[in-house]
Amino acid sequence: MQNEDYTPNFPTETIREGNVKALVPKLQAFIKLPSDYAPSKAPVFYNPVMELNRDLAVLALQAYQKTVNREISVCEPLTGCGLRGIRFAAEVEGVKKVVMNDISEKAFRLASLNVQSNDLAKKATVKHEEANLLMSRYSAPHRRFDAIDIDPFGSPVRFFDSAVRALRDAGFIALTATDMAPLCGVHSRACVRKYGGKPLRTEYCHELAVRLLAGCLATTAAKQDIGINVVFSHRAEHYVRTCATIKYGAKNADESLKNMGYLLHCFKCFHREKQSLFTVQRSDRCSECGSKLNIAGPLWLGRLFDSQFVELLENEANQRKLGSERKIQGMLAIIKTEVEAPITYYVVDKLCDSLNLPVPSVKKVIEALNREGYQASPTHFNSRGIRSNAPASRLREILPILVKQSINQNRI
């Protein structure tokens, strides 16, 4: 299908992001009501708020390319206006081929136009197919991609099976999920149906969302005798995202599944504990207060970050000028502190509300826990959150002391 003379029949504007320019829908033209979500109303999907996501996607792909140290091929099966794919082609060193795709003819034509206007036709190709069909065409051993980035409007799970089959051994997959209501426990049945795990509406629900996403990927890959290794995850705005490398082989799949299990949470005292998927018996009562424990999972209990990969991301971020540069640097600085930290986090405000206390600073709580020998660090998932191996009971004891000390100091 020729595209040279294509002119969109809807309002557009030219934007610049990263090192490229792109013709995108003029979103303001598609808002009729205050409640309208412009990106979903436009004839071709484009969301300017996701610039942070795309910036991190470029950094992550470059970090992966440097770990394998060879030319790589990339697939973006849900390209929309093509902005992410053309940025991969233009900004990531070592990319030899980018296959972009969209089932929408308007998106296909607009993405093709953006490829041409950035002089990337020799490196980037735009397809017009259903995403699963496209990836299935590349599932043969010598056709597979090195990396696949799936960034849908909603849940990415319906693309997992074809995506893992379209990845070569040691390939890289990046997944975005924007359906936060199911993942955070507002619509639990939808989460169980889509992700195969039960969510919980806890203060650390965004971390649970990432773990449910990664867990679904792990179990889907295992059915193909493929194991996964999560190398980076993050939460921002209205989405969660996780990146993983894969490894072929039944033993690798088995090792991957050892990271699956359940999180048990007490809504009365905030105690939480993890249990392996292979645990035969588990108590339904809280070991600290005796109340009923609520269960989340099965989900991914393994690490959400790889220290070397995060280091590569930070190095790349420091060498580039990106639109979300400050946000990324701030995020990565916090993530570096939580790479080795315990899973889940406490939210200081939530604990203080339950104790009817004024809220001390997160920094003071972390310092108090460190003085007692506990591991404690902030988390990028929540600016008021603290990762710590301290039991909830000890936190409930420390907080009144901190508040009393702060009140006395203010009186002096």
Q: Please indicate, yes or no, if residue 33 is contained in any of the structural domains.
A: no
Same domain, 149 and 227: yes
Q: Is it the case that residue 283 has pLDDT exceeding 90?
A: no
Per-residue pLDDT band for 36 (boundaries 50, 70, 90) equals confident
Residue 2 scores a pLDDT above 70? no
243, 266, 300 — which closes off a domain?
300
5 has pLDDT over 80:
no
Q: Strand order of the sheet with strand 72-76?
A: 124-127, 95-101, 72-76, 145-150, 167-177, 239-248, 226-236
Q: In the predicted model, what is the mean pLDDT of residues 359-376?
A: 96
Average of pLDDT values for 281-286? 82
**Mean pLDDT across the stretch 299-304?**
98
Angstrom distances, CA of residue 127 to CA of 46, 54, 79 = 18, 20, 10
In a domain, residue 153? The reply is yes
349/267 same-domain check: no
Q: Return d(Cα 176, Cα 84) in angstroms, integer.
A: 13
Residue 1, pLDDT score = 46
Between 2 and 51, the more confident residue is: 51
pTM for this predicted structure: 0.96
Q: Are residues 293 and 349 in the same domain?
A: no
User: What is the mean predicted confidence (pLDDT) over 70-91?
Assistant: 98
Q: What's the whole-number mean pLDDT along residues 288-298?
A: 95
Asked if residue 337 is part of any domain, the answer here is: no
Q: Are residues 261 and 357 in the same domain?
A: no
Q: Please tell me the total count of domains within the chain.
A: 2
Residue at 37 is within a domain: no
Query: Alpha-carbon distance 40 to 38, whole Å?
Result: 5
Matching residue, tokens 């109340």: 291
Residue that is last in its domain, among 300, 329, 354: 300
250 and 384 share one domain: no
Which range among 26-35, 76-85, 196-205, 289-298 shows the weakest confidence by mean pLDDT?
A: 26-35
Residue 74's SS3 state is: strand
Q: What is the pLDDT of residue 280?
A: 62
pLDDT band at 412 (very low <50, low <70, confident <90, very high): very low
So what's the pLDDT on residue 410?
A: 64
End of a domain among 285, 300, 315? 300
Q: With respect to residue 138, please indicate whether it lies within any of the assigned structural domains.
A: yes
Whether 21 is in a domain gets the answer: no
* pLDDT of residue 8 exceeding 70: yes
Residue 182 predicted with pLDDT over 50: yes
Closest CA to 311 of 72, 62, 18, 52: 62
* Residue 108 is assigned to a structural domain of this protein: yes
Domain housing 173: 46-300
Residue 161 pLDDT greater than 70, yes or no: yes
CATH number assigned to the domain comprising residue 156: 3.40.50.150
pLDDT digits (tens, 9 = 90+) for 109-142: 999 999 999 999 999 999 999 999 999 999 999 9
DSSP one-letter string for 101-127: E-S-HHHHHHHHHHHHHTT-TTTEEEE
- Is there a single domain that holds both residue 284 and residue 357? no
Residues 223, 358 share a domain: no
Q: What is the CATH number of the domain that holds 392?
A: 3.30.56.70
Report, as an integer, the average pLDDT of 250-269: 97
In this structure, the answer to whether residues 244 and 137 fall within a common structural domain is yes
| 296 shares a domain with 349 | no
Average pLDDT over residues 378-396: 97
Nearest-Å Rg of the Cα atoms of the chain is 23
Question: Residue 330 domain-assigned?
Answer: no
Mean pLDDT of the chain: 95
- Are residues 185 and 72 part of one domain? yes
Which pLDDT score is estimated for 85?
A: 98
404 and 277, same structural domain? no
**Pair (138, 235) in one structural domain:** yes
